[in-house]
């Protein structure tokens, strides 16, 4: 690598860009597990466009991606596509209430209904500040009053199902769902799947350790809100679609014959559980994506003498080499 190329690379890295490249063809390995593919079922940008980023309880008609990447339009997940368009309900995962000890924000459950777009049932609740859809817990029914408090008492409380508390205020052993990762209104939540629940394990200072259904433990800030109870529709695993066609109607395509899960014949590898992961601050947003189009010449992956024909250095051509650096990329835009 020449000195000039190193300088260029340093300037590129200083701009916060990450360059990754693979040389040659990758060795053929086992096909990746299909679970790792993104589903790409709903176009969330369409959701943003329709709602303007604001919450609405009204049913929406979202654009379906059918397993295609929203940027490129290429088919990414071949097991998604087709099906009937169901109305999409925005669910609110973040419940907030007063921080005073004797006050709560109360809502009444108006309706509990199934949702074609998620496994758990959803509940329509109304309170003083408006109406919204939330994930329904196991025994939630129309007419129930659910309470929300952000108060952190000195002694842990035994939560009531459907009510929402900060995780730091719940007694160890409490089953919870819709657990915020960080105490912010835009954070993602754990436990959204039907019949699932996390368990409060212990409290450590400003943090509370919870155990997820797959037994991994996370340490969250004690102000993260969570709803008490197991999520509804726990028997969804016992239900069957009934026919392959019904499976297709929900937008899933056949997926057999591509990847075979390893069975017990080879013995199952028992991996130790990872240590408790501490979620103290949201991770910084990644660097912006930059789209670079490589020419056919650059895609060849050949550099220096290997890039030209054997006969060319022998005097058959007097053209100059293009300034492409050692990476096979045109770095002209980064020379400034």
Partner 1 sequence: MPYRRYRPHRQFGIHDTHTFKMRLRKHVSERMPVFELPKAVQASDVRIYESSEPELFSRQIVQDERKQAEQNLKAIFSNYQPNTPKNMVQSLLNKEFAKTHGQPAYVFQAEEPLCDGVDQASILSNAIVRETLPDWVMKNVDEFDIPEEYVRDSILHGEKYDPTLEKLPIRHDPIIFWIRHPRVFGTPVVKRGNTILDNLFRQVYFAGRRNGKLQGLIVKRDPWISAYTESSNLFGDRPFVLRFRPHVLVESENADIPQLRPWLNQVEEASKEPLPDIYPISPLVDLQTDKFYHDYDGANALLTGIHKDMFKDLNPELLKDLSKEQLERLGALMSPNRNKSRFLAAMWCCERNQKYPWTTEQHAANAILHTYGLALAEANRRFFDLQLAEKALASNPIIMRGAQLFEGKLDLVTIQLNTMHHNSERKNFVWLQRALPLYKPRPYYEEMHELGQVEMGTMKKFTALIAGHPPKQTS
**Residues making contact with partner 1 (CB under 8 A):** 59, 84, 87, 106-108, 110, 126-131, 145, 249
Closest C-alpha among 181, 175, 149, 151 to residue 163: 149
| Radius of gyration from C-alpha coordinates of the chain | 27
Minimum CB separation of residue 86 from partner 1 in Å reads 8
Nearer to partner 1 by Cβ, of 106 and 330: the residue is 106
* Rounded-to-integer distance, Cα 193 and Cα 274, Å: 22
Residue number, 107 or 138, with CB nearest to partner 1: 107
CB of 10 to partner 1, least distance (A): 56
Question: What's the DSSP call for residue 46?
Answer: H
Shortest spacing between CB 126 and partner 1, in angstroms:
5
d(C-alpha 99, C-alpha 101), whole Å:
6
User: Nearest 5°: phi and psi at 301?
Assistant: 75, 10
Residues across the chain:
336
Among residues 38, 102, 103, the alpha carbon closest in space to that of 74 is found at 38
What is the nearest approach in angstroms of partner 1 to the Cβ of residue 183?
24
CA dist list (Å): 278 to 189, 216, 252, 273, 274: 15, 12, 36, 15, 12
Residue 113 CA to residue 135 CA, distance in Å, equals 10
Minimum CB separation of residue 179 from partner 1 in Å reads 24
Residues 46 and 61: their CA atoms lie apart, in Å, by 9
Nearest residue (CB) to partner 1, 44 versus 246 = 246
C-alpha span between 128 and 108 (Å, rounded): 10
Say if CB 79 and CB 252 are below 8 A apart.
yes
User: Is the dihedral angle over the CA atoms 200, 202, 207, 210 positive or is it negative?
Assistant: negative
Q: Which is closer to partner 1, CB of 110 or CB of 273?
A: 110
Distance between CA 215 and CA 274 in Å, rounded?
10
Nearer to partner 1, 57 or 182 (CB): 57
End-to-end CA distance of the chain: 20
Task: State the minimum distance, in angstroms, from the CB of residue 94 to partner 1.
Answer: 18
Q: How far is the CB of 43 from partner 1 (least distance, A)?
A: 21
State in angstroms the smallest separation of the CB of 247 from partner 1.
Answer: 12
Looking at beta carbons only, is 125 or 329 nearer to partner 1?
125
What is the distance between the alpha carbons of residues 128 and 105, in angstroms, rounded to a whole number? 8
Nearer to partner 1, 192 or 249 (CB): 249
Write down the least CB distance from residue 110 to partner 1, Å.
6
Tell me the C-alpha distance between 148 and 171, whole Å.
16
Q: Which lies closer to partner 1 via its Cβ, residue 1 or residue 84? A: 84
Measured from the CB atom, the residue of 145 and 312 that comes closer to partner 1 is 145
């Amino acid at each position: 690598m020449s000195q000039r190329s190193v300088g260029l690379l340093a300037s590129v890295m200083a701009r916060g860009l990450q360059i990754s490249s693979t040389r040659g063809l990758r060795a053929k390995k086992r096909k990746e597990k299909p679970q790792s593919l993104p589903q790409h079922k709903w176009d969330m940008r369409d959701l943003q466009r329709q709602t303007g980023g604001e919450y609405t309880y009204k049913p929406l008609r979202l654009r379906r991606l059918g397993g295609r990447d929203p940027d490129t339009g290429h088919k990414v997940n071949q097991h998604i596509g087709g099906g009937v368009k169901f109305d999409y309900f925005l669910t609110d995962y973040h419940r907030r209430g007063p921080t005073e000890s004797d006050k709560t924000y109360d809502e009444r459950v108006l309706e509990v209904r199934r949702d074609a777009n998620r496994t758990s049932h959803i509940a329509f609740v109304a309170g003083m500040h408006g109406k919204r859809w939330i994930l329904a817990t196991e025994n939630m029914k129309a007419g129930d009053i659910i309470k929300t408090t952000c108060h952190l008492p000195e002694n842990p409380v035994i939560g009531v199902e459907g009510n929402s508390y900060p995780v730091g205020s719940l007694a160890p052993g409490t089953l919870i769902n819709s657990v915020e990762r960080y105490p912010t209104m835009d954070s993602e939540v754990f436990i959204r799947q039907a019949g699932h629940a996390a368990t409060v394990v212990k409290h450590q200072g400003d943090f509370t350790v919870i155990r997820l259904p797959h037994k991994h433990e996370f340490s969250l800030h004690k102000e993260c809100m969570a709803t008490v109870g197991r999520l509804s529709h726990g028997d969804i695993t016992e239900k069957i679609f009934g026919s392959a066609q019904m499976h297709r109607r929900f937008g899933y395509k056949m997926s057999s014959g591509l990847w075979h899960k390893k069975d017990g014949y080879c013995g199952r590898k028992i991996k130790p559980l990872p240590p408790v992961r501490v979620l103290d601050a949201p991770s910084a947003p990644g660097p912006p994506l930059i789209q670079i189009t490589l020419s056919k010449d650059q895609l060849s992956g050949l550099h220096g003498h290997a890039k030209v024909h054997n006969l060319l250095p022998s005097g058959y051509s007097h053209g100059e080499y293009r300034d492409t650096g050692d990476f096979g990329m045109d770095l002209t835009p980064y020379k400034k």
